Structure 1
Amino acid sequence: MNKLFILIIFILGYSFSGKAQDTISNENENPIQKQFEDLIESSNNYQEYKVVNYDDLIKLKNNTNSYIQTLKNQISTGKKTAANQKKEINNLETELKSTQQNLQQVNEEKDNIVFLGLPLTKGTYMAMMWGIVALLILALLFFIYKFKNSNSVTKEARKRLDDTEREFDDYKKKALEKEQRLGRLLQDEKNKVNRMNS
């Protein structure tokens, strides 16, 4: 935008300098000056006076008035042009200021992120996101630790249960064998008693 503004100022300055040079060249080619010189040269001498042709003098007067009016018109046009150019410069400066404000707003919006309805800078957003990721990783590690711990406790409990079931099966087996042995002994004793009675 600054380059555009400088380019516009350069073009306006160049056009002003071109008009100033035209004015200087017009002054150098002043037709009234030449007419005065021609009138003086063509006039007759009378003692120390110059006798001038009345028609040429009137023509010079009219040309001078016409030339003065032309210069006034050029000055008026130049003033209008200068006023218009000043107005354009003011408009361009206003547009430049507005564009710079819009650019600043766009840059601020670009640097901000809206998260859950809150405007955050990119740095804050990134810090918050990495914080959330870190918390999730810590939570995952905690749950993995808890799972492994629970798993080892569960395995230990199953092992104890299996050992207890084996011990119980052994106990049942021994108790059954003992019961059978006692049953046989009882039967033998009954048989002995029966034999003795008969």
Structure 2
Amino acid sequence: MTTIRISLLLSLFTILGLNAQETESQKPKTNTISQQFEDLLENSNNYQDYKVVKLNSLNKLKANTADSISAFQGQITDLQAQINSQQEEIKNLNTTLEETKATLEETRAEKDSIFFLGIPMSKGGYMGMMWGIVAVLALALVFFIFRFKGSNAHTQEARKKLADLEVEYDDYRKKALEKEQKMGRLLQDERNKAVKNTKK
């Protein structure tokens, strides 16, 4: 009789425990999968070294786990799509950056270069060439100034010699004219003397 009562009490406690467990399992679970596993283990019955788990609770946990895995896989797919999109955007930005760098280098090269007679030259080379031309022209000018001064000195000296020569020529002509006149007078005197002597 006592064993029957004990068996009835155990059966009653087991039914009450299972009803309470079912009531708890019917509540919407918003906790994590790990928490659901812990709840399942806490609400399961012990039998020797084993845990007795309700099949309905186990199936629900399995469904929740599958839903969570599916949701995580969806998130992974979305994140992978975002990563791919960001990588494509980074690739496009790198391409744009390389093009911008190339354009910048070309612009700098054009800015630093000057076309001289259709030949592209750097500003430094152009300035060096211009200063070289100026130096050559300055040297040529100095050379021609010295040549002009030398030629002018020779010209002045030649003019002076020509003037002196003209003065000497005038003196010589005057002396020659005087000499000619003197010789003419002497000749006339001799003629006159000869005429006088013949009259005698």
* TM-score exceeds 0.5: yes
Asked if 2 retains the 8 angstrom alpha-carbon contact of 1:44 and 1:52, the reply is: no
How far 1:163 sits from its partner (Å)? 1.5
Which SS does the other structure have where 2:114 is aligned?
A: strand
Q: How many Å separate the matches in 2 of 1:153 and 1:60?
A: 125
Q: Which residue is equivalent to 2:99?
A: 98
Which runs of 5 or more residues in structure 2 are unaligned? 1-30, 196-200
Which SS does the other structure have where 1:39 is aligned?
A: helix
How far 1:73 sits from its partner (Å)? 1.5
Equivalent residue in structure 2 for 1:50, among 14, 27, 52: 52
- Counterpart mapping for 1:138-157 below 5 A: 138-157=139-158
Which amino acid counterpart does residue 164 of structure 2 have in structure 1? D
- Counterpart mapping for 1:1-198 below 5 A: 31-45=32-46, 48-52=50-54, 54=56, 56-57=57-58, 59-122=60-123, 124-171=125-172
Deviation larger for 72-81 or 134-143: 134-143
Question: CA offsets, 1:3-40, max 9 Å, x none?
Answer: xxxxxxxxxxxxxxxxxxxxxxxxxxx70110121122
How far 1:106 sits from its partner (Å)? 3.5
Which amino acid counterpart does residue 83 of structure 1 have in structure 2? N
Q: Which residue is equivalent to 1:8?
A: none
Which runs of 5 or more residues in structure 1 are unaligned? 1-29, 194-198
Deviation larger for 76-85 or 59-68: 59-68
Which amino acid counterpart does residue 145 of structure 1 have in structure 2? F
RMSD: 3.7
> With structure 2 as the length reference, what TM-score do the two structures score?
0.61
How far 1:98 sits from its partner (Å)? 2.0
How far 1:137 sits from its partner (Å)? 2.5
Deviation larger for 155-164 or 172-181: 172-181
Deviation larger for 165-174 or 176-185: 176-185
Q: How many Å separate the matches in 2 of 1:85 and 1:163?
A: 103
Whichever of the two has the greater Rg, that structure is 2
Question: CA offsets, 1:140-174, max 9 Å, x none?
Answer: 12211221122012101221232233334445655
Q: How many Å separate the matches in 2 of 1:132 and 1:156?
A: 36
Which SS does the other structure have where 1:114 is aligned?
A: strand
Q: How many Å separate the matches in 2 of 1:51 and 1:158?
A: 141
Q: How many Å separate the matches in 2 of 1:186 and 1:158?
A: 41
How many residues are treated as equivalent by the alignment? Answer: 164
> With structure 1 as the length reference, what TM-score do the two structures score?
0.61
Which amino acid counterpart does residue 72 of structure 1 have in structure 2? Q
How far 1:186 sits from its partner (Å)? 10
The alpha-carbon distance between structure 1 residues 70 and 176, as it changes in their structure 2 partners (threshold 3 A), is same
The alpha-carbon distance between structure 1 residues 51 and 142, as it changes in their structure 2 partners (threshold 3 A), is closer
Which SS does the other structure have where 2:126 is aligned?
A: helix
Asked if 2 retains the 8 angstrom alpha-carbon contact of 1:113 and 1:121, the reply is: yes
